[in-house]
Homo-oligomer: A and B are copies of this chain.
Amino acid sequence: MSVTAPQGFEAAGVAAGLKSTGKPDVAVVVNRGPRKVGAAVFTSNRAKANPIIWSQQVILDRTVEAIVLNSGGANCFTGSFGFQTTHQTAEKAAELLGVAAGDILVCSTGLIGTGDEAFRAKVLDGTEQAIAALSADGGDDAAHAIMTTDSVAKTALVEREGWSIGGMAKGAGMLAPGLATMLVVITTDADLEAIEADTALRAATGKTFDRLDSDGCMSTNDQVTLLVSGASGVKPDLEEFTAALTELSDQLAAQLQGDAEGASHDITIRVANAVTEQDAVEVGRSVARNNLFKAAIFGNDPNWGRVLAAIGTTSAQFDPYDVDVWMNGVRVCSKGGPDRPREDVDLAPRATDLLIDLQVGDAEATIRTNDLTHDYVHENSAYSS
């Protein structure tokens, strides 16, 4: 169901030949209203793909009629020709839907540098096909059409009294903050003002997608979009809506983590008792990006020394001789020295919990990451992406 679970949305996913496998590669999600509110957050990478440059303009007036997404090519670093392709995609969709091109968001994902004439023709053709195929239960088709190296389609649904939030996501590598490399479309039939939608989206992504750091690499094409139809007629409290949106975003973030390229462990790094939340995030991210720690977890080695070495590179407040480190419930380091023997830690399960207790304050944060494996290297060396 995903993005078509809430009332007021139609979607479709079709195969336009962008993927060499012949699988679906163009998706469209349309907001039938009555509200046409959109909010979005974008990659903080300064090398931005053409669809990002376009969508950042579209979102300024917070009115969005539809979003067109393609896999099979990032349309990034494809120059003015590539930007025209994005522009023409929006115009094609607008013409067929009878709305303004300036209210059409566009997202692309795939190999950087892909965006030639053949690409343009296929994207435009796919947009036309998808709009012809729009339906109120097209959410799953859309979720499949945005997949790249994803092994499964990622969707989520959170239901509340009289309204709901649906979402779809793609992403399986290059997951890092500022966003992860992901495309996410979230829809809701809750009745929200544009400013409320924007506030809720920034709060939810800040605690979820922004704290997923699979491999430290930041994409050029990331976008998380929230579309609001208001079709339920229910006006939830902003705090209640933000909580529900955070819950849904966390579910999608966990699915992205669980499908990260080549990973054999999903590592949840909880940093507790920091002086500030910012310190906790910095410490968690530093450990999440430490290749030696990540390789050790792949090898089922509870190597707390590598954790402390990573903490030492941060500017967070801490005393090395007051830090405790727990792995899967076993305290392997207490006050900066060895504690329980490494043999006591069972790292065989995919789910891995790392708890870093800084013992200097009461702020905390959780960062999700993965291990560094042979398969990660294989997937990112054997194929261009």
- The chain A residues found within 8 Å of chain B, CB to CB, are 44-48, 74, 76-79, 111-113, 173-174, 178, 215-220, 289-292, 295-296, 298-299, 301, 303-306, 308-314, 318, 320-321, 333, 335-338, 342, 372-374, 376-378, 380-384
B218 contacts A298, C-beta separation under 8 Å: no
Counting chain B CB atoms within 10 Å of each CB, the highest count among A178, A310, A318, A337 belongs to: A337
- Give chain B residues whose Cβ lies under 8 Å from the Cβ of A383: 299
Q: With A295-B377, A311-B47, A313-B45 given, is the CB distance from A303 to B372 under 8 Å? A: no
Q: How far is the CA of A296 from the CA of B76 in the complex (A)?
A: 18
Task: Write 17 A-B pairs (CB below 8 A) sorted by A numbering.
Answer: A46-B318, A47-B311, A48-B320, A74-B305, A77-B305, A77-B320, A79-B321, A112-B303, A112-B308, A217-B290, A218-B309, A295-B381, A296-B384, A299-B380, A299-B383, A303-B384, A376-B377
* Complex: chain B residue closest to A323, CB-CB: B47
Q: Is the CB of A295 within 8 A of B376?
A: yes
List B contacts of A303 (CB < 8 A): 112, 384
> Contact: A381 with B321, CB < 8 Å?
no
How far, in whole Å, are A218 and B305 apart by their CA atoms in the complex? 12
4 more A-B contacts (CB under 8 A) besides A174-B292, A299-B381?
A: A112-B305, A112-B306, A113-B304, A217-B306
The verdict on A374 contacting B378 (CB below 8 Å), with A336-B79, A337-B79 known, is: yes
**Please, which residues of chain B bring their CB within 8 A of the CB of A218?**
309, 312-313
C-alpha spacing A228/B44, complex, angstroms: 49
Nearest residue (CB) in B for A335 is B79
With A and B bound together, what is the CA distance between A303 and B376 in angstroms?
Answer: 16
Q: Which residues of B contact A384 (CB under 8 A)?
A: 296, 301, 303, 342
- Which residues in B have their C-beta under 8 angstroms from that of A44? 313
Evaluate whether A382 and B113 lie within 8 angstroms (CB atoms) in the complex, with A77-B333, A79-B321, A220-B309 already known: no
- Report chain B residues within 8 Å CB of A113: 304-305, 333, 337-338
Residues of B within 8 A of A290 (CB): 216-217
Contact assessment for B377 and A45 in the assembled complex, using a CB-CB cutoff below 8 Å: no
Chain B residue at minimal CB-CB distance from A311: B47
CB < 8 Å: which of B47, B289, B291, B333 contacts A309?
B47
B-chain residues with CB within 8 Å of residue A178 when the two chains form the complex: 313
Among A290, A295, A378, A384, which residue has the most Cβ atoms of chain B within 10 A? Answer: A295
- Contact at B377–A377, with CB atoms within 8 Å? yes
Minimal beta-carbon separation of A382 from chain B (angstroms) = 6
Complex CA distance for A383 and B295, rounded to whole angstroms: 10
